[in-house]
Amino acid sequence: MLDATPVESSWIPEGPAPARRFAKETMMTLDRVVLSFAGLMVLLSVALGLYVSPYWHLLTVFVGLNLIQSAFTGFCPAAIVFRKLGVKPGCAFS
């Protein structure tokens, strides 16, 4: 026989509260903004390096080195800028 007890799950809509809870979980935090910005800069510099000048690939190198040093030190200039713009903090750049 099937059990008729309700199952608690965050994806089952039960009214407006679960929708708000889902929206809070997927909100862009500082960590996600910094990573998406870094990815955007890498893609942009590769495209500019292919179509404009190969010197744009130096921007890719800079972004990669900045990601490596921020992984070890926790210091990221982009995180400082985005924090001052009002992006909510995440767990990596606090």
Q: Is residue 37 part of a domain?
A: yes
d(CA 18, CA 31): 24
Q: Is residue 22 part of a domain?
A: no
Counting beta carbons within 10 angstroms of the beta carbon of residue 16, is it exposed (0 to 12), middle (13 to 18) or buried (19 or more)?
exposed
Contact call for residues 49 and 60 (beta carbons, < 8 A): yes
Domain that holds residue 49: 29-84
Instruction: Taking each helix axis as running N to C, give the angle between helix 30-51 and helix 57-73, from 0 to 180 degrees, rounded to the nearest 10.
Output: 160
Q: Is residue 16 part of a domain?
A: no
d(CA 82, CA 15): 34
pTM of the model: 0.68
What does the pLDDT read at residue 93?
73
What does the pLDDT read at residue 72?
93
Q: Structural domain tally of the chain?
A: 1
Q: Is residue 11 part of a domain?
A: no
Q: Is residue 63 part of a domain?
A: yes
What does the pLDDT read at residue 13?
56
Which residues of the chain, if any, have pLDDT below 70? 1-26, 94
What does the pLDDT read at residue 54?
95
